Structure 1
Amino acid sequence: MPENAPAPVDGLEWAANRGMGALAEKMGLRFTEFSVERCVATMPVEGNTQPVGLLHGGAYVVLGESLGSMAANLHAGPGRLAVGVDINATHTRSATSGIVTGVCTPLHLGRTVTVHEIVVTDDEGRRCSTIRITNHVKDLPQR
């Protein structure tokens, strides 16, 4: 590693120090792996369902946006901020119990734009939702 290279970042520690936000905390999200290349989080189905007992579609999106936005901010680095500008989700299966797991991987990591795909699976490893989020990366205002 070159002398002037930044020290490697412990992604889980970075995420814990930053916090995931009140909504993600209320929904029970837990990060289990966190790096620029791959982020993983889990979320319980219980407490996040529609009236008929299926995991709410918006809950999948909260999981996806939490992972994708946090990953984009880790990529952005100090003094920069990533903000979501587009998100879409395709739900292909319904989780009704247990936990779901979201795995976030980058499709594009640019200086001003990031795109991440988040695949959400149930306890049996079956894909339930595929989410794509685009973030705009900008410099924080100078104070």
Structure 2
Amino acid sequence: MGAIWKKQVTAEALNARNNNTLASHLKMVVEEIGDDYVVVSMPVNETTHQPMGLLHGGASVALAETVGSIASNIAVDDQHFCVGMEINANHIKAMRQGTVLATAKPLHLGKASHVWEIRIVNAQGDLVCISRLTMAVRKI
């Protein structure tokens, strides 16, 4: 399958668009845009920890929703936008420090909804969290 994107964007433009949002406060960075996936990184540090010094599950979910939302919104034309409807996550491996990478790939790209699988891994490629995000497609 060829590229699924309907909008021409760069990682730099997407990162600039995220200024002064939750993504920027958690230091999320768009790292890569492939033909059918988007990768966003996030540090694991005091900003994303829970009180026991581990990566907060909510930070992982915020990362998953961010990368899936970015992907969904560039997979629609300029007459549409996408918003989150439902997200779930299974937290698999704990982390105390480092960086996680979240990769969003489509499971379904319909006219009214998109479903994305988001895999969050550590630097060694170990699965930290697996998530599924459903996005509503709306007309502007």
The alignment's TM-score, normalised by the length of structure 2, stands at 0.88
Amino acid at match of 1:131: S
How far residue 21 of structure 1 moved from its aligned partner, in angstroms, is: 5.6
User: Which whole-Å deviations, capped at 9, do the CAs of 1:34-80 have from their partners, x for residues lacking one?
Assistant: 25611001100012101111000000001100000111110112121
Aligned residues between the structures:
134
Match of 2:139 in 1: 139
Deviation at 1:18, TM superposition (A): 3.4
Query: In 1, are the aligned partners of 2:113 and 2:136 still within 8 Å (CA)?
Result: yes
Does residue 1:89 correspond to 2:89, yes or no? yes
Q: Is the 8 A contact 1:86 1:134 kept in 2?
A: yes
CA distance in 2, matches of 1:118, 1:21: 24
Q: Distance in 1 between matches of 2:102 and 2:135?
A: 18
Query: Any conservation in 1 of the 2:7–2:77 contact (CA below 8 Å)?
Result: no
Q: SS of 2:75's equivalent?
A: helix
Specify whether residues 75 and 14 from structure 1 end up closer, same or farther in structure 2 by C-alpha distance, changes over 3 A only: farther
Q: What TM-score, normalized by structure 1, do the two folds share?
A: 0.86
For 1:41, the equivalent position in structure 2 comes to 40
Q: Which runs of 5+ in 2 are unaligned?
A: 1-5
Query: Aligned in 2, Cα 1:8/1:51: closer, same or farther, shift over 3 Å?
Result: closer
Instruction: For residue 95 of structure 1, give the secondary structure of its aligned residue in structure 2.
Output: coil
Other-structure match for 1:4: none
Tell me what 2:52 maps to: 52
CA contact (8 A) 1:35 1:71 kept: no
What are the Cα deviations for residues 60-104 of structure 1, in whole angstroms up to 9, with x where unaligned? Answer: 001100000111110112121101101000001111111011011
In the aligned structure 1, how far is the partner of 2:9 from the partner of 2:83?
22
Q: Percent identity?
A: 34
Partners of 1:120 and 1:28 lie apart in 2 by: 15
Please name the residue that 2:22 is paired with: 23
> Residue 69 of structure 2 aligns with which residue?
69
**Offset, 1:112:** 1.3
Structure with bigger gyration radius: 1
Amino acid at match of 2:64: G
SS at match of 1:73: helix
Q: 1:122–1:100: structure 2 CA closer, same or farther, 3 Å change rule?
A: same
The answer to whether the Cα contact below 8 Å between 1:106 and 1:114 also exists between their aligned partners in 2 is yes
Tell me the secondary structure at the aligned position of residue 67 of structure 1: helix
Q: CA deviation at 1:127?
A: 0.3
Shift of 1:25: 0.5
